[in-house]
Chains A and B, each alone.
Chain A
Amino acid sequence: MMRNVSYRLMRKSALATAVLVALCIGASHAQQQPASAPSAFPGAQESLEQTVKRGEYLAQAGDCVACHTKHDGQPFAGGFPMPTPFGTLYSPNITPDAEYGIGKWSADDFYHMLHTGHRRDGSFIYPVMPFPAYTKVTRADSDAIFMYLRSVKPIPEPNRENGLRFPYDNRSLLLGWRELFFHEGEYRPDSKHNDEWNRGGYLVEGLGHCGTCHTAINKLGGNEDRKAYAGGLIPMQNWYAPSLTSNKEAGLGEWSLEEIVEFLRAGASQRGAVYGPMSEVVHNSLQYLSDADLRAMAVYLKDLPSRHETPPPGMLPGAAQLSAAVLAHGHAIYKAQCQSCHLGNGVGQPPGYPPLANNQSIEMQSAVNPIRMVLNGGYAPQTETNPRPYGMPPFAQILSDADIAAVVTYIRVSWGNHGQPVTTAEVNTLRSAPLLD
């Protein structure tokens, strides 16, 4: 029955959509809904095909497929395991299957879920679903994404029970979490900035849900606004999401707009290549975004206020470890293993072999990423603009903790890099970090 409703909806023209938007504005979000909202975004007047197309585009921007598809599974059929400190969750099936998917959903249901983080039965959604970001999505975009999801192949794939430990298996406990970390409400353009900036903000804060990783996640599993985009360690995955603020040392302060756009679109740039979880984001999501949108995101990111993310002096690993012997050792390893690609002075051969000198990934306070790059290697994601990516081999099986600590330390302090030395212990713990999330 719901199906019919939504099909009728689909048959209706954009006008109907607009009316519907208006309705639900009246319904709930009058005060939040900026007057200029519809006009600020594309798609006020479009055909069903266009809506679905736009929905697909937005779904890519939101990278829905990443979590709602398991490795050997059908797109959007769910079942993807998401390990958390509280237990493992499994993403649900969001294909239009009537029994297990969203076949019985209405556009309202979908928007309500995206916007308020409630399941259709009214219970709370676990915040592994980035609804604190998706709540910013406009009704129009939500509907478009819904239309698109309704258009994909329905898969009768049953949803898997979450494996959460007591007491986390009780959804109502999320109330506290929501009070602390969830602020419901669509994105509200900032009149002090132009449309491009606001479009970027809408994508970064909303569908892009960049903050989910790039804002430190605290013990309670929430992002704190005061640390927004200042970077943080991604729990379980053990990769460090670098700062995106305009901070000079750690953030994007020194990046040009072009470099950022190129990095997001191609996955490799003069500044460095993407790796770890970001490969997935570029591969499934960012590479499909329009130049305009990527540029808008870049503009917004460049403008993020610095959170002066320099670690308090006390926190620095003791420079005492930085002995000449270690550096000599590191230098030797570098010559044997790294130099052929990254060159003696660490300038690399970008975009294929990224530079190591003056590279935040190398210098940043957390040494997790450089260590893991050496341990696990990695290929940049294959994208339209980078169809034959270069790759770095894993060294875990041929280099000892001491070797890796030495060479990473060497890289972090050479060629004007001012990173901190790393310890063999750090290297060692990262050996057991999971390779596949």
Chain B
Amino acid sequence: MNDNLGKWAVLAVVAMMLVGGVIGFVWLPRVVYSDQGFFAAWCSALGVPRSWAAFGARPVAKISSDVVITHELLEPARPADVGHGATLALRCTMCHGPTGISYANSPNLAGQYAVVIYKQLRDYKSGMRANAIMSEMARSLSDTDMREVADYYASLPRPAGFQLTGAAPAVVKWGAPMRNIAPCGSCHGDIDHTLASPWLKGEPRAYLRAELTAFASDQRHNDINAQMRAIADRMTPEEIDQAAAYYAGEH
């Protein structure tokens, strides 16, 4: 070892780079990307995005919902939205209650996330979700109307003093791993909340049961990537009832 160590080291490293380079960018690609030309293979090895010809787009048989959920989907409510929403929402009061709290086993909308309400309205309008009255009601709503109604209901206070009773059932706190059922609470608010998942506390039991059953039977199918259908169809009727009862505070 002497003062040329530095030089030697540099040379050695360069040599290694070359070896690695040759193996990684010339030799292996020839094998792994044999379907591509030299430069294409080289690009693939580098990680330049390219699509694998064999797997092109396929015909779209049916889609669940045409809403694309992003954080920008609804800007934070402008006061103007809330006001117009309030006037538009007058005709929703018969089922959803004057303060967004239903006496008719319709979902409570007070304090529901705006994105959730907006998406459902969009789906009602586009027919992705069907309901005798809601389809009718949503038909004439413009996109702005729907945002405003959503913002209005989101602005209302949730049912005061509502308490969940009893211990959460297994399906709510653990789900059922081996059936790929995640805990309800991991998306719907007990444990954590994910974008566009509705807040379920205090929703009417009958409504929750009906919707879960509809998901399970594919009657309702406006959940993106079948997220709820997949879960609901793995839930037992008992689990469905337990979850519904729990969130309705009747557990």
Contacts and interface: CB of A to CB of B under 8 A. Distances in A.
Interface of A: 87-88, 161, 163, 396-397, 401, 424-425, 427-432, 434-436
B142 interface: no
Interface in B121-137: none
B84 A163 contact: no
9 contacts: A87-B161, A88-B161, A163-B161, A424-B80, A427-B83, A428-B83, A429-B79, A431-B86, A432-B83
B160 A428 contact: no
Given A88-B160, A432-B83, 7 more contacts: A87-B161, A161-B161, A428-B82, A428-B83, A428-B84, A429-B82, A432-B85
Nearest to A428: B83
Given A88-B160, A163-B161, A432-B155, A425 B90 contact: no
Contact of A396 (B79, B80, B87): B87
Interface string B127-156: 000000000000000000000000010010
Contacts of B44: none
Given A432-B82, A432-B152, A397 B87 contact: yes
Secondary structure dominating the interface of B: helix
Contacts of B85: 432
**Top-4 shortest CB links A-B:** A428-B83, A432-B86, A163-B161, A431-B83
A367 to B, nearest CB: 15
Contact of A401 (B80, B152, B161): B80
B186 interface: no
A210 B155 CA distance: 32
A269 B155 CA distance: 39
Contacts of A428: 79-80, 82-84
A91 to B, nearest CB: 16
Contacts of A401: 80, 83-84
B249 interface: no
A205 B79 CA distance: 39
A436 B90 CA distance: 13
A371 to B, nearest CB: 11
Contacts of B160: 87-88, 163
A389 B103 CA distance: 32
Interface string B60-104: 000000000000000000011011111100100000001100000
Contacts of A88: 160-161
